[in-house]
Amino acid sequence: MTRTARHTICRACHAQCALLAEVEDGRPVKLYGDKDNPIYHGFSCIKGRELAAYHTAPSRLLRSLKRGADGALAPIGSGALIEDMADRIAAIVDRHGPRAVALYIGTHGYNNFASSAFANAFMDAIGSPMKFTSVTIDQPGKAVSLMLHGPWLAGAPTIEHWDVLTLIGSNPIVSMNGGLGMNPARQLHRARQRGMKLVVIDPRRTDCAEQADLHLAVRPGEDAPVLAAIARLLIEDGACDHAFVAAEADGLAALRAAVASFTPEMAGQRAGLEPDQIRAAARMIGQARRGAFSAGTGPNMAGHGNLVEYFVKVLTTLRGFWRREGDVVANPGVLIKPAPAIAASPGPGKAWDLGVDLRVRGLSQCAAGLPTAGLAEEILTPGEGQVKALIVLGGNPVLAWPDQIKTVEAMKALDLLVCFDPRLSATAKLAHYVVAPKLPLEVCGPTALNEMVGNFGPGWGYHRPYAQWAEPLTEPPYGADVLEEWQVFHGLATRLGLTLQITPSSLLDPAEAAVNRTTVPPGAPLEAHDVWAMLLKGSPVPFEAVRRAEAGQLFERPEVRVQPKPAGWAGRLDIGSAPMMDELRAIAAEAPPAADPFPFRLISRRMRDVLNSSWHEHDKLRRQHATNPAFLNPADMAALGLADGDIVEIESGRAAIRGVAQAADDVRTGCVSMTHAWGGAPGEDDDPRIAGANTGRLTAVDRDFDPYTGMPRMSAIPVRLKAISLS
């Protein structure tokens, strides 16, 4: 047997690392990082190296499933599946209207742009605006704050120019994105050797905090007061870039007034920090010539997420940490056409009330999309506009959404639940149809997703004009009847006689993207390369050139420099947005907490070997943790009388779950740190040593929620703990 080496792209997460695969008899038998790759330099993680194993896992679905009259799921052929689903969707639309059909795209629904593009086009074709994504339950504050502050069209300098990096609840060494770019450990090592300072604000001593010059072990949920205090100190000490602020921003007076009460002493008392720690952080940031700020999932989920992300941008503006006229744009784009590099801002825009209203809690479409935290209520609330059908693409609502109790009730109430899932996940177990898709090594695709997320902020995406294309490495297993997700939506449209309008993913300007849509009539023959040509239409480097980059390469691009602000330009950044200043004043006015019946705070975390809610049964991913432990500081373990492996009950104001206690001295006292998206539905996970525990069960969507994104606390959840035994 002869082994050949093939290049491919990991699609286990958004980082899309470059891999080499050893292929034998048409099957990949070993994957590892490509040391010759100019961006990743051989980096890979266990999730990517095990990508081939998921394709042949015993739990993989090789045929789609349909729930029969007896309530059981049974195999169904692809053709019959599409016909059945289309007929049921048509009946629901005829009876209840297009709004009765909703779409939810989860994290894995974005790993293949073709899937999400055709799913959205199908929803447009049936006339439903009910399109939800994981963005509004992960880091929605990034989009909301961008509109409140206004984008800086020139963007931010790349990591080689930073003198300081401040990470707020972000640990890129494990999450692979959000502050350090590709191969994050290597990037951080090189930056530290160069002299870059690192400030980490996090309740845990994370991998990044271990290497920090300053670690502020903040009390969960108190990031905003600490950032406000840093802003106050920068203004007081004259450490702002006053020339930049005067020329490009409004709202300094409003900001100064709103942060006035956030002294280091006040913020320190709230956050459990010494005031001098906050002063030291402000001094380190204030002395840097250039730098960056990046916030992660934790503070976005911990309450005041929009405000935290807003301060990320405000502090960047106060220090003038943006590219300026004449600066070279490190990545002028390969697959994604960026905004024009101008040293200016179009100014703030509308961040919510964007045209589609929900029927619950006064929620509406915000800059991050429709509030997913309101979707379960939309399903359960009777009346005109009630959601009767839900299509889930690349997600697992039962384990990933907040308020698991209400989520499960909603899934069971649907007239039609369709899940695209390669395994029988907790949500798929409740579905009427489970669509078995092809897996990453069986499909073609480029690194467009990682290039696109470069727009999230400093340290995201590629810092250089890089792209890679991957052809399929293998065919589905013998006897399998699986399709790419886009084929299913194309098939549904054909069955219903609908024309799809496919919007290019490469064009970020909505008007330009609309002009360049491709019309796909019912029954039009399509191959995967045709689809990607549609999606990459108008990309800075032509699609055919990118298709030749199977090893991954840096593309020669004309040098792009930041252009000056045109004469008469009116747009300005806003560092004193009224809603954010009002939220800050409300925090300052809060009364000191009384005796807390829930004295602990449950905080979210990532585990290096975990692939969201998928493939937890895979042995090599379980080598470190076979469950999602309840990590506790040893002092708290002792006080509760717990030892490693003991069972602890974790109770919130909503519900209780059971976790497996494990001592971790990197966790702040008063905290319990757990990975979400584990466990099963209520009643299916009585023993947390087997299935883990679902932290989403502890939250209620209609309590303590953000008024714009609808998100309740999914981290910094008030809980109380007690040791229990399992019979």
Q: In this predicted model, which residue has the larger pLDDT, 500 or 460?
A: 500
> How far out from the chain centre does Cα 566 lie?
35
Please, which pLDDT band fits residue 3 given cuts at 50, 70 and 90?
Answer: confident
- State yes or no: pLDDT of 14 exceeds 90: no
- State yes or no: pLDDT of 48 exceeds 90: no
For CA atoms 365, 368, 372, 373, the dihedral sign is negative
| For range 441-456, the mean pLDDT | 92
Contacts of 78 (CB under 8 A, 6+ apart): 64, 481, 482, 483, 488, 491
The confidence score (pLDDT) of residue 684 equals 79
The confidence score (pLDDT) of residue 624 equals 66
The DSSP call for residue 654 is S
Structural domains in the chain plus CATH codes:
95-136+350-435 (3.40.50.740), 141-327+573-584 (3.40.228.10), 595-724 (2.40.40.20)
- State yes or no: pLDDT of 58 exceeds 80: yes
Please, which pLDDT band fits residue 725 given cuts at 50, 70 and 90?
Answer: confident
The confidence score (pLDDT) of residue 687 equals 85
The Cα angle at residue 266 between residues 264 and 267, in degrees rounded to 5: 65
The confidence score (pLDDT) of residue 622 equals 61
**What Å distances lie between residue 556 and 16, 333, 590, CA to CA?**
21, 11, 55
Residue matched to tokens 């491709």 = 518
Identity (one letter) of the amino acid at 598? F
Map residue 95 onto helix, strand or coil.
helix
- State yes or no: pLDDT of 235 exceeds 70: yes
| For range 216-244, the mean pLDDT | 97
Contacts of 181 (CB under 8 A, 6+ apart): 158, 159, 187, 459, 460, 461, 462, 463
The confidence score (pLDDT) of residue 65 equals 98
| For range 556-578, the mean pLDDT | 96
Please, which pLDDT band fits residue 86 given cuts at 50, 70 and 90?
Answer: very high
Does residue 700 contact residue 577 with C-beta atoms inside 8 Å? no
The H-or-E segment that residue 5 falls in is strand 3-9
Q: What DSSP line would sit under 627-638, residue for residue?
A: S--EEE-HHHHH
Residue matched to tokens 């740190």 = 673
Q: Per-residue pLDDT tens for 362-408?
A: 999 999 999 999 999 999 999 999 999 999 999 999 999 999 999 99
Alpha-carbon gap, residue 504 to 67, rounded angstroms: 35
Q: Per-residue pLDDT tens for 582-623?
A: 999 999 999 777 778 999 999 998 877 676 667 667 666 666
Alpha-carbon gap, residue 409 to 477, rounded angstroms: 36
The confidence score (pLDDT) of residue 1 equals 63
Burial of 11 from C-beta contacts in 10 A (0-12 / 13-18 / 19+): buried
Q: Per-residue pLDDT tens for 331-360?
A: 999 999 998 999 999 999 999 999 999 999
Q: Supply the mean pLDDT for the chain.
A: 94
| For range 51-79, the mean pLDDT | 94
The confidence score (pLDDT) of residue 613 equals 66
Does residue 614 contact residue 424 with C-beta atoms inside 8 Å? no
Burial of 387 from C-beta contacts in 10 A (0-12 / 13-18 / 19+): buried
Alpha-carbon gap, residue 207 to 211, rounded angstroms: 7
Q: Per-residue pLDDT tens for 124-183?
A: 999 999 999 999 998 999 999 999 999 999 999 999 999 999 999 999 888 877 778 899
Beta-strand runs (E) in 10-130: 18-24, 27-33, 64-67, 73-76, 101-105
